[in-house]
């Protein structure tokens, strides 16, 4: 471990906090139905979606109604994704000419992406068409993350209201999480990722000449748009089989930092939103401290382990530098690789730690 490695980690933490504090306040306003800076642009679209879906934004649901709505919505999402993957071979945006997925693989993938598990039992660049990647997997990356945000907001309302019989409206929370939080972030950050070298194209592939004067076909596609939302929602399930270890999904050290920032910023902002919604920011600071300790501890453990040499390799004289780099990421170094590995686990902590908090009214 080195001081400049920890300096990189500390700088990223600072950037995450600087962005998460105003974003948390924004999220609290959005989910309270208050006017915000995006209301003039997205307000008409939000109201139009409610009319189209015949949803009354003022009508709230009990916890049972909210849960039933989540289950029904995600069941429909599973069915649509399953059908899309099975019919991939006859659908447009398939320049590679990939056939439809086998029933078991389509089922496994649909369940995985709808539930935010994002397990990949396939190689994306040799299995999924551009249409499946965009209309199927990327859409579910949005919806599964928005479902998680909606559920978090319902939980927060349960603490803030204490004796209330309702926890909000799932379809309203889902719409607002998608429109006001995830879509703007997933629109801006891909532009930055593209500028840093990540592909975003509808071309299927490009031919390249190797250093040995050979020919190699490199898979391409709408990578940046999918990577952005997979990171913002801590979804997993990238465009390529190797995910962020692939140079097209993670082309530079700066792109690596941007994606790590994406993994942390929404979860951190949600903590600040929680503090505002329950009327006690001290609880937000307590939750943030828990998340921060988990992240720092996890990063330190991974960083320390990776900085040690592999004893067997060292005994054979094959590890003179002392770092455990066998099979490891060599482009970004130990510090950023350790932070990357620890970040999703710390973000997940926000889903469970609010259960220990009490609202001021419940404490009374």
| Percent over 90 (pLDDT), the chain | 58
> Which tens digits make up the pLDDT trace of 321-355?
555 666 666 778 788 888 888 887 666 555 444 44
Q: How far apart are CA 228 and CA 206, in angstroms?
A: 23
Task: For 140-166, write each residue's pLDDT tens digit.
Answer: 999 999 999 999 999 998 888 877 789
pLDDT tens, position by position, 57-70: 999 999 999 999 99
User: Using the 8-state DSSP alphabet, how is residue 216 labeled?
Assistant: E
pLDDT digits (tens, 9 = 90+) for 273-294: 999 998 888 888 988 898 888 8
CA distances, 4 to each of 1, 10, 245, 308, 334 (Å): 9, 10, 23, 17, 11
* Helix (H), strand (E), coil (C) string for 18-43: HHHHHHHHHHHHHHCCCCCCCHHHHH
Across the chain, what does the average pLDDT equal? 87
CA distances from 180 to 8, 40, 136, 147, 183 (A): 30, 12, 21, 14, 6
What pLDDT sits at residue 281? 86
Per-residue pLDDT band for 306 (boundaries 50, 70, 90) equals: confident
Q: Which residues contact 111 (CB under 8 A, 6 or more apart)?
A: 78, 117
Question: What is the mean predicted confidence (pLDDT) over 42-68?
Answer: 94
How far from the centroid of its chain's Cα atoms is residue 34's Cα?
25
pLDDT at 250 over 60: yes
What is the structure's pLDDT at 339?
85
Reported as a single tens digit per residue, the pLDDT across 221-245 is: 999 999 999 999 888 778 998 888 8
Which residue's entry shows tokens 């910023």? 265
Q: What is the mean pLDDT of residues 240-262?
A: 90
Question: Residue 320: is its pLDDT beyond 80?
Answer: no
What gap in Å lies between CA 17 and CA 265, rounded to an integer?
8
DSSP 356: G
């Amino acid at each position: 471990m080195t001081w400049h490695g920890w300096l990189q980690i500390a700088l990223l933490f600072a950037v995450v906090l600087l962005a998460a504090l105003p974003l948390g306040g924004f999220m609290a306003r959005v989910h309270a139905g208050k006017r915000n800076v995006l209301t003039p642009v997205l307000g008409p679209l939000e109201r139009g979606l409610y009319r189209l879906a015949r949803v009354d934004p003022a009508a709230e649901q009990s916890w049972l109604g909210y849960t039933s709505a989540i289950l029904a919505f995600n069941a429909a999402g599973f069915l649509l994704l399953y059908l899309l993957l099975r019919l991939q071979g006859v659908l447009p945006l398939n320049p590679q000419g990939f056939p439809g997925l086998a029933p078991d693989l389509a089922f496994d993938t649909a369940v995985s992406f709808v539930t935010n598990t994002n397990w990949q039992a396939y190689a994306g660049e040799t299995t999924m068409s551009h249409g499946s990647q965009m209309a199927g997997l990327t859409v579910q990356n949005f919806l599964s993350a928005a479902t998680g945000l909606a559920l978090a907001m319902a939980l927060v309302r349960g603490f803030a209201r204490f004796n209330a019989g309702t926890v909000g409206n799932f379809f309203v929370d889902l719409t607002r999480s998608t429109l006001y939080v995830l879509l703007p972030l997933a629109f801006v950050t891909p532009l930055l990722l593209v500028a840093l070298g990540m592909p975003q194209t509808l071309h299927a592939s490009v031919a390249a000449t190797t250093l040995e004067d050979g020919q190699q076909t490199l898979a391409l596609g709408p990578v940046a748009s999918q990577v952005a939302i997979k990171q913002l929602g801590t979804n997993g399930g990238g465009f390529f089989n190797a995910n962020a270890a692939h140079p097209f999904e993670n082309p530079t050290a700066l792109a690596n930092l941007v994606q790590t920032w994406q993994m942390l910023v929404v979860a951190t902002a949600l903590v600040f939103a929680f503090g505002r919604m329950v009327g006690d920011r001290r609880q937000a600071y307590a939750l943030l401290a828990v998340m921060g300790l988990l992240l720092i501890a996890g990063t330190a453990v991974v960083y320390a382990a990776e900085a040690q040499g592999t004893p067997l390799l060292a005994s054979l004289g094959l590890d003179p530098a002392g770092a455990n780099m066998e099979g490891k990421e060599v482009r970004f170094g130990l510090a950023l690789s350790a932070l990357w590995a620890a970040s999703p686990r710390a973000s997940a902590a926000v889903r469970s730690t609010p259960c220990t908090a009490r609202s001021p009214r419940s404490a009374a």
